[in-house]
Amino acid sequence: MKRIRSEKLIRTKPGAAGAAGFSTVELFALPEAPGHVVHVSTSRDGLQWKETVFTPSPLPFEAASTAFEHAVAAQIAQGYVPEGSAAPAPAATPPTATAIAHPGDAVLLAAIRPDAWRLLPPVRRTRVVWRIGERRLATAVPQLIDHIETGEPMLDYCIAWAVGRCGDAGAFEAMRELSKRGRTPVVTRAARWAALALWPEEQRAAEAARIIDDWPAPLRRAWAAMGEVPAAQAMPLLQQHLADPALWNGLKYAVWVEQLFDLSLLEGRRADGLAHAALLQIAPTLQLAAGSFRAWRRLYKGAEFAGDYDLLGVLHQRLETQRAAYRTGGRWAQVNGRYVEIAKEVVRPDSRLAYSQRTRDYLRRRTWRNLRRLALAGAADEADWLRLAMGVLLAADDAEAGTAGQQRESRWTPEPRSWHTGPYSRWLVLMQLLHRHDPEWEAQRGGLQWRRGTPLPAQRLSRTEAWPERWDRHPQALLQLMQQGRCAAVHAFAARALQDNKPFCEALEAPTVWRLLASTWEDTARFALDIARQRIAAGEAPLPWLPALLGSPLAEARTLALEYIGQDPGLYSQQVGLLLMLLTSADAEVRRASRLLLQAAAPNLSTLDVLASELLSWLSACDAAQPQLDAICENVQWALQGLLRTAAAKAPLDRLLALFDHASPDVVRTAAEWLLLHPASVQGLPVSVLTRLLQSDDERLRGAGVRLFTSLPDESLVTQPELFAAFCSSPMPVVRAAVAPRLAQLLPAHPAFAAALMPLLRDELFRAEAAEGVFDSLLQWLCGPLAEHTRRGEPAVTLRLLEARSKGAQRLGAWLLPQQDALSFSVLQTASFGLVDTAAARQWATEQLAARPERTLAELGDALRIFDSRWDDARDWARQWFGAQGESSLWTPALLVRLCDHKDAGAQRLGRELLTTHFDVTDVTTYMLQLSQHPSPGMQLFVTNWLASAASRNADVLARLEPYFLSVLSQANRGRLAKARVMEFLAAQAMHSEDIARIVARVFARQAVTGAITERAQYVAGLRSIQEAFPGLDNPLQTAPVRSIAPRRAPPPSSSALTGAPAA
């Protein structure tokens, strides 16, 4: 072969010295005519070369020369430049869409010419079209439209993607038609995105409304409501709507997210686009799991298509922080606690597996590849490069970072070696951006993991980021990173990079530097502190810088501010705002300095008056969660009780009382101390506020309430017995102890107040004890200073106290009962004392009943109330004492039946004994009818003794006793003697008359069916006897005739029987 042409190219890496790659393109003539080929050789170090044939088959010279130019252009497109030539300088402003801003653009445009297009294989065609879309070469759109549906569906997909990115509005109709007749869903979706991106401006609102009309009505209304409020208020509403399942009405969340992206394409690059803001809000929480990963992947590709690098950065951060669901190449994966076979699960339409390790690594590398290609494209794509880099860096969040660690070398080495990893060692793009040129960091697995041989440095001392020259051209972006970043590494990088841009730092406005001083990120705050030092040293007055320095979380900044203040305290003591900041600082050193500066301001009374008013406003507006608020309030109280005492007395009372509604107990306590210094004192404080303070669970509020309560005058306190009752019954011992001295002072001098307080305290005893010791405290007051008023209560109250469930009420009743006149209680009330739980009260009741027998027996019915007691001692006494009074003529049949009918067995026995003693034949029927209703088996047996005398041959009495007979006879396995007597009595009575026989037959008939089997024969015999005695009486017993049944035919005789042989 003979070499005809040759071109050597090299590639350099930004920030690196020397070449990072070599390439040689050569044109050879073959010995056979005609034949020419193009070879491309590449190398990283210039020693080992990789050769490829650019032309698969020999070509004529003209075609081979064209291929040679294409090969050179392709190498230039990959970042190579001809050896010996300088790299193209970046343009000051981005070029227009029709300009050729990169050497590779000419090659791409030449590749789609008809003569070159025919020679490209299908894979190269799709690749060329895709690169045209990446480069946004709008001049190629007309030719791309001509190639629609001339190849494979992948070509149509790439054409739609490229046309949408190029932004040629003339291709709108072509993309719209392709979105309707695309051969695959992928093509349809890409064409739909392209059409939405190219949609005519005047028709975009209508298309957006058409998309929203497909949503459920509640979701449409919610979206419309979000559009009517500012974006800052719309996003909290969005979070509420996402959690409300009633809005969706069957609409899948993943489908809605894709439609939301369509709306964002119609919004274009509007800064106030609601759909785009919603996507940025949703993207950090969209799950990379089965069911939603497809929507997430489409959103990722859509962000690439639209150049929405803010959204792409947020989505990439999800890749960095969320682990893959399963590892590619494995056989099993766990789903919902069960293992499934990966190969079978992933091919299912409803697969429960998504987001493999290979997918995760590919997408992470893809973001870095996009960023690198945008950087290699030169100044033309620098704006897009910056937006993507900013999107990735602003999305990085320390809340999702790992932890720094140390691990030993897993391989054997002569000397043991350990490696250090940082919190971001597994974040590919962040580490590439911030540490690409750091010699200490070593990338593993293509940048997926990073490690270093030395410990992590405390500060970033040198610039090791990728493309430092680009960051130097965009200092405003570095400032934005310090203002909005959420990652410590990003702040350290931005602060270090911005330090080298002296003109920009000098031009920063003071308020901007003040806000940076307030940053919680140390590197950003230290960067601002250096600027503050330089400007004050250059001659600026320190006073405007002092508030920012004092408010900085950086201790060094606060120390610097105190040094400036110490240089001229007389000047700074007249600054009310500065004094307020010192008094309310969260730093202890600053608060101590405030006391010295306040003493310097003492001669200026007007300054102190204004300071007191500002302190009142600060306390009203402060947050209850502010750090060190308790210490700040203590410092404020020190100032109020000292140098600000006079100024504090002039504060408006209404504003001061409003502080008692503050959420912070420390602020309320400060308000209480301030109120005590006010001339109005606590006169204007509502009683409800004072009650709330004293009954608070917080010790600080209770202390404030006690201080206020003890300062009230006597004239105000004696009008509030309810307030004292609430305090005396408080579950908190501190509150009860706080009011005790004041109450003890008021009671002797104000009897009317004591009379009003006593029933309130007594009523508290009827309630459940709020805490241990409350009843003891109340009883000390009621039985002590209030004893005279307690004794004046009505006798019914004593009984109510003793009958209460509350132990406290019972204790008060037991104390009060012996001091009452016994005659003031009726016999019924006295007997009722025998039912209470207090043993002393029961004993007092029995003693009083026995002490006056005539009075007790005169109201014997009320005295029998004591038998209802559930206590054995009271019932035993009653049985003994009333049994001894059995000879009294006051025992009426009703009282005797009442005793016999009592639920207590002892009372029943006493009743039966007394009934036998006072038996009167004339009252036997009354006893019989009343006692027969008693369910007790003993009483039922007792009643059988009077059956013959009370009911013999009396059909009316027997009819009324029928329930009694059924009750006795229905007993199962018990009451045998009573049943025998009743059955014998009924059988004998049935023979006397037909009416009685009818009653007995009705009882026997029922028992014959439902009674015990062993007793049925007796009932049947009784019914048979009644039937024989009274044949005309309806009797359920019927005689069944005996049927004669012929015997079965005898079996035929056997042969042995016929022959006479013996049977076997």
Secondary structure, 3-state, 933-969: CCCCHHHHHHHHHHHHHHHCCCHHHHHHCHHHHHHHH
Three-state SS for 338-362 is: EEEEHHHHCCCCCCCCCCEHHHHHH
Reduce the DSSP state of residue 829 to 3 states and report it.
helix
**Distance (Å) of CA 800 to CA 793, 817, 843:** 11, 11, 17
- Binned at pLDDT 50, 70 and 90, residue 946 comes out as low
Confirm if 172 and 195 have CB atoms less than 8 A apart: yes
Q: What pLDDT score does 95 carry?
A: 36
- Binned at pLDDT 50, 70 and 90, residue 938 comes out as low
Q: What pLDDT score does 897 carry?
A: 67
- Architecture field, domain 919-1034: Up-down Bundle (1.20)
Q: Which tokens go with 993? A: 């008359």
Q: Could you give the CA distance from residue 944 to residue 985 in angstroms, rounded to a whole number?
A: 9
Q: Could you give the CA distance from residue 603 to residue 161 in angstroms, rounded to a whole number?
A: 76
Backbone φ, ψ for residue 367 (5° rounding): -60, -45
Confirm if 257 and 299 have CB atoms less than 8 A apart: yes
Over residues 191-199, mean pLDDT:
94
Q: Could you give the CA distance from residue 113 to residue 131 in angstroms, rounded to a whole number?
A: 15
Q: What pLDDT score does 195 carry?
A: 95
DSSP state of 89: P
Reduce the DSSP state of residue 407 to 3 states and report it.
strand
Confirm if 409 and 416 have CB atoms less than 8 A apart: yes
Q: Catalogue the long-range contacts made by 772-779 (C-beta closer than 8 Å, 24 or more residues apart).
A: 773/733, 773/736, 774/729, 774/730, 774/731, 774/736, 774/808, 775/806, 775/807, 775/808, 775/811, 777/728, 777/729, 777/736, 778/728, 778/729, 778/808, 779/808, 779/811, 779/812, 779/815
* For the chain, percent of residues with pLDDT exceeding 70: 89
Reduce the DSSP state of residue 97 to 3 states and report it.
coil
**DSSP letter for each residue of 769-783:** PSSTTHHHHHHHHHT
Q: What pLDDT score does 69 carry?
A: 83
**801-824 confidence digits (pLDDT tens):** 888 888 888 888 888 888 888 888
Over residues 908-923, mean pLDDT:
61
Q: Could you give the CA distance from residue 494 to residue 694 in angstroms, rounded to a whole number?
A: 54
Reduce the DSSP state of residue 902 to 3 states and report it.
coil
Over residues 749-767, mean pLDDT:
89
Q: Could you give the CA distance from residue 999 to residue 987 in angstroms, rounded to a whole number?
A: 11
Neighbours of 72 (CB within 10 A): 22
Q: Which tokens go with 643? A: 């140098």
Mean pLDDT estimate for the chain: 84
Q: Tell whether the torsion through CA atoms of 926, 927, 932 and 934 is positive or negative.
A: positive
Distance of CA 116 to the CA centre of its chain: 63
Neighbours of 862 (CB within 10 A): 16
Residue the block writes with tokens 């920030």? 15
Q: Would you call the peptide bond into 216 cis, given omega within 30 degrees of 0 as the criterion?
A: no
- Flag whether pLDDT at 124 surpasses 80: yes
- Using alpha carbons, select from 521, 496, 582 the residue that is nearest to residue 546: 582
Residue 546 pairs in a beta bridge with none
| Higher-pLDDT residue of 914, 718 | 718
The order of strands in the sheet holding 441-444 is 405-408, 418-421, 449-452, 441-444
Burial of 673 (0-12, 13-18, 19+ CB in 10 A): middle
- Flag whether pLDDT at 933 surpasses 60: no
Q: Which tokens go with 298? A: 């489409």
Helix or strand (DSSP H, E) at 553: none
| Higher-pLDDT residue of 608, 966 | 608
Q: What pLDDT score does 488 carry?
A: 96
**DSSP letter for each residue of 681-744:** TTTTS-HHHHHHHHT-SSHHHHHHHHHHHHTS-HHHHTT-HHHHHHHHT-S-HHHHHHHHHHHH
Helices and strands, counts by H and E, the chain = 61, 11
Residue the block writes with tokens 């038996």? 919
Strand 418-421 to strand 441-444: parallel, antiparallel, or no bridges (unpaired)? unpaired
Q: Could you give the CA distance from residue 842 to residue 864 in angstroms, rounded to a whole number?
A: 14
- Flag whether pLDDT at 507 surpasses 50: yes
Lowest model confidence (mean pLDDT) among 228-232, 261-265, 489-493? 228-232
Residue the block writes with tokens 């035993």? 876
Over residues 785-802, mean pLDDT:
85
Q: Could you give the CA distance from residue 278 to residue 281 in angstroms, rounded to a whole number?
A: 5
Reduce the DSSP state of residue 335 to 3 states and report it.
strand
Distance of CA 46 to the CA centre of its chain: 62
Burial of 663 (0-12, 13-18, 19+ CB in 10 A): exposed
**310-360 confidence digits (pLDDT tens):** 999 999 999 999 999 998 888 889 888 889 998 898 888 888 899 999 999
- Flag whether pLDDT at 566 surpasses 70: yes
**Torsion angle, alpha carbons of 1006, 1012, 1014, 1017, to 10:** 10
Q: Could you give the CA distance from residue 306 to residue 1023 in angstroms, rounded to a whole number?
A: 105
| Higher-pLDDT residue of 773, 1014 | 773
**1030-1055 confidence digits (pLDDT tens):** 887 777 777 677 676 766 665 565 54
Q: What pLDDT score does 787 carry?
A: 86
Backbone φ, ψ for residue 186 (5° rounding): -65, -45
Which residues, other chains included, contact 861 with Cβ-Cβ below 8 Å and sequence gap of 6+? Answer: 895, 898
Determine the angle formed by the axes of helices 687-694 and 733-746, rounding to 10 degrees: 130
- Binned at pLDDT 50, 70 and 90, residue 53 comes out as confident
- Flag whether pLDDT at 925 surpasses 80: no
Whole-model pTM: value is 0.65
Q: What pLDDT score does 11 carry?
A: 79
Q: Which tokens go with 441? A: 């960091």
- Measured between its terminal Cα atoms, the distance across the chain in Å is 126
Q: Could you give the CA distance from residue 276 to residue 1008 in angstroms, rounded to a whole number?
A: 90
**Distance (Å) of CA 188 to CA 103, 160, 177, 182, 305:** 33, 9, 9, 5, 14
Confirm if 375 and 385 have CB atoms less than 8 A apart: yes
Q: Which tokens go with 1002? A: 């009705």
Lowest model confidence (mean pLDDT) among 24-38, 418-432, 813-827, 927-941? 927-941
**Triad 174, 177, 182: Cα angle to 5°:** 110
Lowest model confidence (mean pLDDT) among 29-43, 340-354, 420-434? 29-43
Burial of 537 (0-12, 13-18, 19+ CB in 10 A): exposed
Which residues, other chains included, contact 275 with Cβ-Cβ below 8 Å and sequence gap of 6+? Answer: 260, 261, 263, 264, 266, 267
